[in-house]
Structure 1
Amino acid sequence: MRTVAFLGLGIMGAPMAVNLLRAGFDVVGYNRSRAKVDAFVAAGGRGADSIAEAVAGADVVVTMLPDSPDVRDVMFADDGVLAHTAAGALLVDCSTIRPDVAREVAESSAARGVRALDAPVSGGEQGAIDGKLSIMVGGADADFAAARPVLDAMGTTVVHVGPAGSGQTVKAANQLIVAGNIQLVAEAVVFLEAHGVDTDSAVRVLGGGLAGSKVLEVKGAGMTGRTFTPGFRAELHHKDLGILTSAARDAGTATPLGAVVAQLMGALVAQGHGELDHSALIKLVEQLSAPPSADTP
């Protein structure tokens, strides 16, 4: 299993594909934007002009796409992955999509003799660059074992969490926890600033106690400095929280705080900030905390 087709060379996908190169795999990259393919070729990979060309002869096909409709299009189109991937190959979908779509992909893949795993990732752009992603994997035990060399090249926490669709279910829970943490950090920062506290020092000491979290560590400085270069875009987190609320409704589970932060993330996107990092949630906290202006009746 040395030849990997990698479809989707975006913010996350490009560094993941490069890490596979560094691990010694022969990687063929494809993206709808040719410029991203050219950048991957410049990094040492091979490029393809179509999905069919990318997956031809591949032992493993890795996909990293924005949303469920994108995955369905790439998988099921006449010129898509399942029409051209050889029987016996492994399909590893690292996109974050609905669990039911992941199960649909697994069932359709099995019917064509292709082994499928849903393997969404967490860790953001820096985690992808460093090869330190957390990867939650759904699928058969034997297929997970076969895919470990590929997964280990991209992540440091690689865990098989259950049958097809389970990886996406765990990722939805991950996105719930991350969004809730971001919102609370945003509220804490605005609160500290309102009291004139040195926020950089405050964030440092908070990080050493029970309030410490990966979100505080990774996002705290950007929030205090109001720099929102995307490691993970708000519009994508908005999409992910939609997956979470839908799956929670289907299961009959309550996510009251999740529902609130999902609305806030949606409001951030509606205000035109979808391209910013999801830590830009602090903008809404500032708006809600602003005193009325002199013109307010």
Structure 2
Amino acid sequence: MTAVGFVGLGIMGSPMAGHLVAAGHQVTGFDLATEAVRKLAQTGGRTAGSVAEAVDGAEVVITMLPADPQVEQVVLGEGGVLEAAKPGTLVIDMSTIRPETSQAVARAATERGLRALDAPVSGGETGARQASLSIMVGGAEADFAQARPLLEALGKTIVHVGPAGAGQVVKAANQLVVGGIYALVSEAIVLLEAAGVDPGPGLDVLAGGLAANRILDLKRESMIARQFQPGFRIDLHHKDMGIVLAAARQAEVALPVSALIAQLIAAGRAMGYGSLDHSALLRVVEQLSGRPA
């Protein structure tokens, strides 16, 4: 059993914390949403009234937060994780943020006698609920080895990808590929329907050939039915594409297709689809083609 402080019990964090409880760990959770904290208590976890209280006595602290500002406040800020954690604590940030923010967290942790990993995830709400996430981890190899038993309660594919910040770079690459596939699947649906072809059998064929991918496997039926209940919102993918473009600028590489995907996702947000699942990129493609929404 490991004493875990868990900060951020949202759509992703709540089931993840629950899996750690089910795996036999002592989990103390905090979130600004009191309902999320009560839900953790119902699964057998402990509740905290502040970040510092959640971190107190923890051997490992996990954060799962929306974006850089929240990570900077919760981890680096006054009364935050690094200030409250005892020396030697392993801090695992599983948020999707800029690589340079993860590197800043790692440096600040080292200065305080702590250790830090960046461990963003892929798989969305479904992956979090099914404990089938892909987890890409940046940081020291020894710290990854300590974290792995905990991460195995949360995901199926768990890979140490390099030093601090590397996990976030891999996550950026993941998000550009996911966005690109959603755009292409959306275009395929629009083409099939406009040509009078039933997209159901059409996408079934694609899913069995070289065009096969996880989005076709998991989302083709809901996309055809225009069911866009959020597993991962367009708002968040918009944030992630900003990370992709910033990382490309920092690495001094050109990613022209990624830039187009970022614009399509930004358009979806501007059209009012930000709270919908990122598969609602189909709506953007339909409108560009003058097809009825």
Q: TM-score, normalised by structure 1?
A: 0.96
Confirm or deny that 1:166 pairs with 2:166.
yes
CA distance, structure 2, for counterparts of residue 285 and residue 158 of structure 1: 34
**Partner residue of 2:90?**
90
Confirm or deny that 1:235 pairs with 2:244.
no
| Residue deviations 1:131-160 (CA, integer Å, cap 9, x gap) | 110000000010000111111110110000
The alignment partner of 2:91 has SS state of strand
CA distance, structure 2, for counterparts of residue 144 and residue 101 of structure 1: 19
RMSD: 1.1
**Partner residue of 2:182?**
182
The Cα of 1:291 is off from its aligned counterpart by 6.4
**Partner residue of 2:73?**
73
CA distance, structure 2, for counterparts of residue 218 and residue 225 of structure 1: 13
CA distance, structure 2, for counterparts of residue 288 and residue 266 of structure 1: 14
Alpha-carbon spacing, 1:113–1:203, altered in 2? closer, same or farther (3 Å)? same
Confirm or deny that 1:202 pairs with 2:202.
yes
**Partner residue of 1:28?**
28
Q: For residues 30-45 of structure 1, what are the structure 2 equivalents within 5 Å?
A: 30-45=30-45
CA distance, structure 2, for counterparts of residue 45 and residue 205 of structure 1: 45
CA distance, structure 1, for counterparts of residue 255 and residue 77 of structure 2: 35
The Cα of 1:243 is off from its aligned counterpart by 0.3
The alignment partner of 1:275 has SS state of coil
CA distance, structure 1, for counterparts of residue 217 and residue 113 of structure 2: 44
| Matched AA of 2:160 | H
**Partner residue of 2:8?**
8
The alignment partner of 2:10 has SS state of coil
The alignment partner of 1:58 has SS state of coil
**Partner residue of 1:18?**
18
| Residue deviations 1:118-143 (CA, integer Å, cap 9, x gap) | 00000111111111100000000100
CA distance, structure 1, for counterparts of residue 74 and residue 139 of structure 2: 20
**Partner residue of 2:118?**
118
Alpha-carbon spacing, 1:196–1:49, altered in 2? closer, same or farther (3 Å)? same
Range with bigger deviation, 275-284 or 201-210? 201-210
Alpha-carbon spacing, 1:291–1:25, altered in 2? closer, same or farther (3 Å)? closer
Unaligned runs of 5+ in 1: 293-297
CA distance, structure 1, for counterparts of residue 11 and residue 222 of structure 2: 18
Q: How many residues align?
A: 292
| Matched AA of 1:285 | V
Unaligned runs of 5+ in 2: none
**Partner residue of 2:154?**
154
| Residue deviations 1:159-184 (CA, integer Å, cap 9, x gap) | 00000000000000000000000000
The Cα of 1:232 is off from its aligned counterpart by 0.4
The alignment partner of 1:57 has SS state of coil
CA distance, structure 1, for counterparts of residue 11 and residue 78 of structure 2: 27
**Partner residue of 2:224?**
224
The alignment partner of 2:4 has SS state of strand
The Cα of 1:221 is off from its aligned counterpart by 1.4
Q: For residues 42-57 of structure 1, what are the structure 2 equivalents within 5 Å?
A: 42-57=42-57
The Cα of 1:199 is off from its aligned counterpart by 1.4
The Cα of 1:254 is off from its aligned counterpart by 1.0
Q: TM-score, normalised by structure 2?
A: 0.98
| Matched AA of 2:85 | T
Alpha-carbon spacing, 1:6–1:214, altered in 2? closer, same or farther (3 Å)? same
CA distance, structure 2, for counterparts of residue 291 and residue 208 of structure 1: 27
The alignment partner of 1:44 has SS state of coil
| Residue deviations 1:85-142 (CA, integer Å, cap 9, x gap) | 1111110000000000000000000111111000000011111111110000000010
| Matched AA of 1:211 | A
**Partner residue of 2:60?**
60
Confirm or deny that 1:101 pairs with 2:101.
yes
**Partner residue of 2:286?**
286
**Partner residue of 1:295?**
none
The alignment partner of 1:134 has SS state of strand
| Matched AA of 1:12 | M
CA distance, structure 1, for counterparts of residue 93 and residue 86 of structure 2: 16
The alignment partner of 2:156 has SS state of strand
